[in-house]
C-alpha cells in the first residue's frame, strides 16, 4: 500500500468520522443485518448489501482478516398488525414457513451472486439459534431488564433508561420522550406491557402460530430484535468492531439491539455502527401504492415502464457505487444510461491496460510522469480510506483511465514510466476495479461476446473496403448505426480501426 492515510469511517453512534481501530488487529468482526426471507429481496436491500460487500472487500484488500456475519431472519419479524412476516408469506403461498424461507433464501443468494457479492464468513439463521436467544432472555431477566407476563417476556425500557439514560436514543438521535412516544412495538394493543415502549423479547404463540419452540415461559418464538443480539454475540463476541445495516433499522431495531446487549452483557455490542441511506426513484421515495417502484429482475430484463431498456448486473453495481453509501441514491433511466457508459469506460481501459507492452527504458523515464501516476494511485487508497468513498474512488480510476488511453494512443510515451510504477499502475487499477469494487468485465468470457468479436471484425472489414473504394456513404452509415448501438469506432494513424462500447 502506497498511502500514508488511515482508514476513517463515519460512526452512526458518534455521528463523526473516526479512525478505524479494531479491537484485535488484524482481525475484524463485522455483523450486517440480513434479509427477512418472506418475499423477494428489493432493490434497497441490494444497495445495502452491495455497499457492505465493498466495505468487506476493502478491509480484506487492506490486509485485515475479517469475519463477516450476515444473518437470515426466518422467524420473529412481525408486521405492524402483529402478524409474523414468515407466516403471512406461508399463508399467501400455501406453503410451510420453512419452504417460504428456503425459497426466498435461494432467491436472495442468487441475486447476491448476480451482483458479484462475496458470501459472508457465516450466515446464521434465526430459527437455528433459538437456544442462544432463550439464554439471552434469561440473562436479561436476571439482570433486571426483562419481565414475563402471561408467557411473553418484555424488555423494560423505562428501567433501562433509568439506569443508562445516556445509552437509549444515542444511536437514533432521538430523545427519550420521542422514543417512548414513537414505539412501533405496541402490536395488537398489548396492554399487558408495563409501558407501550417495552418490546417483546419472547412471544407466547397463539394456537394458530406454526413456528413455535419450548421455552421456560411458554411455547412461543423470539422477538425480532433479539436474534441479531444473540447471533452477533455468539459469533463475534459481546463487543465487536462493525455493525451495519440500512438507515431504516436505526430505530427500533438497532436501538433495541443495543438495549438488549446492555441488558444481557452490560456493554455496547459494536464499536462502529455504519448505515446505508435510502434509494429514491425519479427523485421520490419508492412506493408500491403510487407505482413508483422497480425490482432487481425488472431492471435486469427491462420489463418496466420506468426504464427504456434492460441493464446488466455490473452496470447496476457500478451505478450503486457512484454514490457514497451514506448518501441517498436516485435511480432513473438517464442515470442508468450514464452509469452504463461509465462502466464501459473503465472496462475498456482495463482491456487496454492488459494489452500494453511495457519495456523499461531508463533514458526515457520521466520523474514527473512517474510522480503523476503514483499520485493517482495513492488517491484511490486515500478515497477508500475516507469512509469507503466509492464515488471518489471511481473518479480517481477515471483519471487513471485517461493515462492508460494516452499511453495506448501515444500521446504520452509508456516508457516514461519505470518498471515499479507500471506495476503499481496495473496492481492499483485492476485491484480497485475487481477486488475492491467487485466489478467484472461483462464484455469478456462467454460465447456471445466471442460471436460479437467475430461479427464486429466482419463489419469493420466491410467498412474498410468501403473506405478503400471511397464509398463514404456506406462508411459513414456503418459508423452512425454503430454509434446508435453505443459502439464507438476509433480510426488509428496507421489505418487500423478499433471499437469499444461506450466511449
Output the nine-digit C-alpha cell for 374.
503514483
**How high is the pLDDT of residue 77?**
59
Helix (H) / strand (E) element for 372: namely helix 367-385
End-to-end Cα separation, the chain, in angstroms: 31
Task: Judge contact between 252 and 222, C-beta under 8 A.
Answer: no
- According to the model, what pLDDT value does residue 247 have? 96
Beta carbons within 8 Å of 456's beta carbon, 6+ residues apart? 487, 499
DSSP 121: S
Count CB neighbours of 339 within 10 A. Answer: 21
Query: Residue 248 phi/psi, 5° resolution?
Result: -70, -10
| Cβ(479)–Cβ(460) below 8 Å | no
SS3 347: helix
From CA 46, how far away is CA 117, in angstroms rounded?
10
451-to-85, 354, 446 alpha-carbon distances in Å: 47, 21, 9
- Largest alpha-carbon pair distance within the chain? 92
The CA distance from 114 to 208, in Å, is 38
pLDDT at position 80 is 45
Alpha-carbon distance values, 221 to 57, 67, 78, 94, 226 (Å):
35, 28, 11, 21, 10
The C-alpha atoms of residue 307 and residue 299 are separated, in whole angstroms, by 8
DSSP for 412-478, written as a single string:
S-GGGS-HHHHHHHHHHHHIIIIIIS----TTSSSHHHHHHHHHHHHHHHHHHHHHHTT-HHHHHHH
Grid coordinates given for 45: 436491500
Q: What is this structure's pTM?
A: 0.86
* CA-wise closest residue to 424 among 390, 367, 376, 356: 376
pLDDT at 157: 94
Grid coordinates of 343: 462502466
Residue 210: what pLDDT? 80
**Rounded mean pLDDT for each run of 10 residues along the chain, 503 residues in total:** 86 97 98 91 95 98 98 72 59 72 91 97 96 98 98 96 93 81 55 90 88 95 94 98 96 95 97 97 89 92 93 97 97 97 97 95 95 97 98 98 96 96 97 98 64 68 80 84 75 65 55
C-alpha cell at 366: 520521466
* pLDDT attached to residue 189: 45
Amino acid at each position: 500500500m502506497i498511502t500514508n492515510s488511515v482508514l476513517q469511517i463515519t460512526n452512526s453512534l458518534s455521528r463523526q468520522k473516526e479512525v478505524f481501530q479494531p479491537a484485535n488487529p488484524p482481525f475484524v468482526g463485522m455483523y450486517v443485518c440480513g434479509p427477512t426471507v418472506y418475499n423477494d429481496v428489493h432493490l434497497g436491500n441490494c444497495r445495502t448489501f452491495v455497499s457492505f460487500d465493498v466495505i468487506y472487500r476493502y478491509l480484506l484488500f487492506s490486509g485485515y482478516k475479517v469475519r463477516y456475519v450476515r444473518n437470515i431472519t426466518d422467524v420473529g419479524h412481525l408486521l405492524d398488525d402483529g402478524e409474523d412476516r414468515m407466516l403471512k408469506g406461508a399463508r399467501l403461498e400455501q406453503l410451510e414457513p420453512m419452504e417460504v424461507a428456503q425459497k426466498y433464501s435461494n432467491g436472495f443468494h442468487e441475486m447476491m451472486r448476480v451482483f458479484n457479492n462475496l458470501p459472508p464468513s457465516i450466515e446464521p439463521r434465526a430459527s437455528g439459534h433459538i437456544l442462544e436467544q432463550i439464554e439471552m432472555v434469561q440473562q436479561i431477566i436476571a439482570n433486571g431488564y426483562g419481565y414475563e407476563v402471561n408467557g411473553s417476556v418484555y424488555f423494560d425500557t423505562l428501567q433501562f433508561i433509568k439506569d443508562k439514560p445516556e445509552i437509549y436514543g444515542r444511536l437514533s438521535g432521538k430523545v427519550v420522550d420521542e422514543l417512548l412516544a414513537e414505539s412501533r412495538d405496541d402490536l395488537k394493543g398489548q396492554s399487558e406491557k408495563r409501558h407501550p415502549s417495552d418490546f417483546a423479547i419472547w412471544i407466547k404463540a397463539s394456537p394458530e402460530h406454526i413456528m413455535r419452540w419450548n421455552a421456560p415461559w411458554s411455547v412461543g418464538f423470539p422477538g425480532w430484535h433479539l436474534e441479531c443480539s444473540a447471533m452477533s454475540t455468539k459469533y463475534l463476541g459481546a463487543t465487536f468492531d462493525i455493525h451495519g445495516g440500512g438507515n431504516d433499522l436505526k430505530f427500533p431495531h438497532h436501538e433495541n439491539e443495543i438495549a438488549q446487549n446492555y441488558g444481557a452483557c452490560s456493554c455496547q455490542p459494536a464499536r462502529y455502527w455504519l448505515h446505508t441511506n435510502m434509494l429514491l426513484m425519479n427523485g421520490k421515495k419508492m412506493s408500491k401504492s403510487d407505482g413508483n417502484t422497480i425490482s432487481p429482475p425488472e431492471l435486469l430484463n427491462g420489463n418496466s415502464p420506468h426504464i427504456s431498456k434492460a441493464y446488466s448486473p455490473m452496470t447496476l453495481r457500478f451505478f450503486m457505487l457512484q454514490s457514497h453509501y451514506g448518501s441517498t441514491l436516485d435511480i432513473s433511466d438517464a442515470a442508468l444510461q450514464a452509469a452504463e457508459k461509465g462502466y464501459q469506460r473503465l472496462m475498456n481501459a482495463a482491456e487496454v491496460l492488459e494489452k500494453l507492452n511495457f519495456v523499461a527504458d531508463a533514458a526515457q523515464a520521466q520523474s514527473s510522469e512517474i510522480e503523476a501516476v503514483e499520485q493517482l494511485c495513492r488517491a484511490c487508497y486515500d478515497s477508500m480510506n475516507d469512509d469507503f468513498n466509492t464515488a471518489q474512488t471511481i473518479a480517481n480510476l477515471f483519471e487513471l483511465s485517461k493515462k492508460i488511453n494516452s499511453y495506448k494512443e501515444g500521446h504520452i510515451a509508456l516508457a516514461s514510466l519505470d518498471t515499479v510504477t507500471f506495476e503499481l499502475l496495473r496492481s492499483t487499477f485492476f485491484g480497485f476495479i475487481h477486488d475492491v469494487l467487485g466489478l467484472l468485465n461483462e464484455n469478456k468470457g462467454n460465447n456471445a461476446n466471442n460471436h460479437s468479436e467475430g461479427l464486429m471484425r466482419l463489419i469493420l472489414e466491410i467498412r474498410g473496403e468501403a473506405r478503400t473504394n471511397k464509398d463514404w456513404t456506406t462508411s459513414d452509415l456503418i459508423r452512425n448505426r454503430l454509434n446508435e448501438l453505443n459502439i464507438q469506432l476509433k480510426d488509428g494513424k496507421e489505418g487500423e480501426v478499433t471499437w469499444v462500447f461506450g466511449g
